[in-house]
Structure 1
């Protein structure tokens, strides 16, 4: 059934029938409505986005939508990019598939609103084909998601998406120092579990701020240092405890996600050993 539908879609594209091209005004985000379609037609809209992150919102979905992610990067870099999509809360009205050369693989089933679930795939594995499911009443139906394009090297080395609970190796720690969106030395002040999102929110008291790309950590008037919140999966079992850590990670869908977090004394050892061997990728103060 799906294969027949998809082949019909591509024939329409080739013949220029029943399809329309939609370009986002800012090339990062797209918002459209199925109400522009005639109900008896199997319309297919093509959307082209050229940013590393953004969102898609399809109101009253009917027919199908093809989302083409075409980042402004060298063709040779495509094989190193991973696409992650995060469905919006209460997204419904369509199934989302990964499509390549006429083959469909279901990514997100209509109505599957697992808390904070993220779906990732290599950009070379295909594009996104979104098919509206039959609805007697399409009112208040919105299919939507946020998307991000991530370097596969960054994805694997920082564990922010692939395996956030696994301890980082010495090599991964040294790389994380150089490429993380935030690097701070501090301690865990409190941990709050968000059971709905299945996440732990870590309140960090910062002794030294090395880097942050956005205002994750702000001055703390009481301690004279800095403080901020970092998220990780609840299954990782992060607890409040004594000792200093080097917290590193990246922004993921607008939120700071924990990557590597070795105890600071362990980081000092790892860094000094790499310095003695001339293997450090970048310099950082360890005083």
Structure 2
């Protein structure tokens, strides 16, 4: 009952302020950082922020009243159809809602595990979020923040399958998938598995890699180890995929999201070589790969 009243109050607030033209434009950027302490205490306006990139972040310190966030990528013919929100681990001071005809609660400050939330964009290629500050009598430091990332239906790896609630997240890759993965993945790494650990709470497995060669990576997830003269780094996947430690060299591919590497196709390296060389003879390889 209390939750329903709260949602109704937020809807009324949103409607009233919008109809009176009391939105305050605060930014038009990829990422935004602001403080409630800089707001006029006498104003009833709801500050509004526009985020127009395919990824970025928001950090709202000392939350006061409410903040409306519009994620609307400034892209021509954008094929991005899904927005994913990852709250900061120390999300405090506000509740986060997504506007879908009515307000749906995504994150409250009392949540323990901060999960990633994904939802489709509307016909106007935008998503509206609403941050309502929690009532506190003191001004102790609190920050409500999150990262956002736009995905499309072609995004590789189980991370998209998981977020978009697609059932075949752990589907094995066929030969065509393997050849395409080395062309389009955010990372392509040859190496062996050091260890695999499982987290029951987050339902995520982590595969620690000892890499002989990093063919490609978008961010610096895999770092050189001066002692072993190899590269090391973690790759995540879903617990339901039941990944186990295997011997030998693999070719790890996948996508990077929110600073983490997510496993896509991972054939044994010798098997990949056989598939690639056969495709190259038939001139059916989608791209050239340095082996």
Please indicate, yes or no, whether the TM-score normalized by the shorter chain is above 0.5.
yes
- The verdict on how the C-alpha distance between 1:123 and 1:279 changes in structure 2, with shifts beyond 3 A counting, is farther
Q: Provide the residue aligned with 2:50 in structure 1.
A: 48
Asked if the contact 2:209/2:235 (under 8 Å) is kept, the reply is: no
SS of the residue 2:154 aligns to: helix
Q: Provide the residue aligned with 1:132 in structure 2.
A: 133
* Counterpart Cα distance in 2 of 1:247 and 1:210: 10
Q: Provide the residue aligned with 2:74 in structure 1.
A: 72
- The verdict on how the C-alpha distance between 1:275 and 1:46 changes in structure 2, with shifts beyond 3 A counting, is same
* Counterpart Cα distance in 1 of 2:151 and 2:109: 25
Deviation at 1:195, TM superposition (A): 7.3
Deviations 1:132-166 (A, max 9, x none): 23344453332111111223311xx3223424961
Deviation at 1:199, TM superposition (A): 4.7
* Counterpart Cα distance in 2 of 1:212 and 1:54: 19
Asked if the contact 1:37/1:43 (under 8 Å) is kept, the reply is: no
Q: TM-score, normalised by structure 1?
A: 0.80
Q: Provide the residue aligned with 2:165 in structure 1.
A: none
Which ranges of structure 2 fall in alignment gaps of 5 or more residues?
A: 163-167
Deviation at 1:250, TM superposition (A): 2.3
The residue correspondences of 1:114-133 to structure 2 (distance < 5 A) are 114=113, 117-124=115-122, 126-133=127-134
**RMSD across aligned positions (CA):** 3.1
Q: Provide the residue aligned with 2:236 in structure 1.
A: 232
* Counterpart Cα distance in 1 of 2:278 and 2:105: 47
Does 1:247 pair with 2:252?
yes
Q: Provide the residue aligned with 1:28 in structure 2.
A: 30
* Counterpart Cα distance in 1 of 2:245 and 2:207: 9
Query: Which stretch of structure 1 is more off in the superposition, 265-274 or 27-36?
Result: 265-274
* Counterpart Cα distance in 1 of 2:227 and 2:144: 45
Q: Provide the residue aligned with 1:106 in structure 2.
A: 105
* Counterpart Cα distance in 1 of 2:219 and 2:14: 42
Which ranges of structure 1 fall in alignment gaps of 5 or more residues?
A: none
- The verdict on how the C-alpha distance between 1:113 and 1:31 changes in structure 2, with shifts beyond 3 A counting, is farther
Deviation at 1:178, TM superposition (A): 1.4
* Counterpart Cα distance in 1 of 2:258 and 2:136: 30
* Counterpart Cα distance in 1 of 2:132 and 2:147: 17
Query: Which stretch of structure 1 is more off in the superposition, 5-14 or 43-52?
Result: 5-14
The residue correspondences of 1:1-287 to structure 2 (distance < 5 A) are 1=5, 2-3=7-8, 5-17=10-22, 19-23=23-27, 27-37=29-39, 42-74=44-76, 76-77=77-78, 80-100=80-100, 102-114=101-113, 117-124=115-122, 126-137=127-138, 139-154=140-155, 157-163=156-162, 166-170=170-174, 171-192=176-197, 199-221=204-226, 223-224=228-229, 226-233=230-237, 235=239, 236-271=241-276, 279-286=284-291
Deviations 1:214-238 (A, max 9, x none): 33334445555x3121231472444
Asked if the contact 1:50/1:72 (under 8 Å) is kept, the reply is: yes
Query: Which stretch of structure 1 is more off in the superposition, 40-49 or 56-65?
Result: 40-49
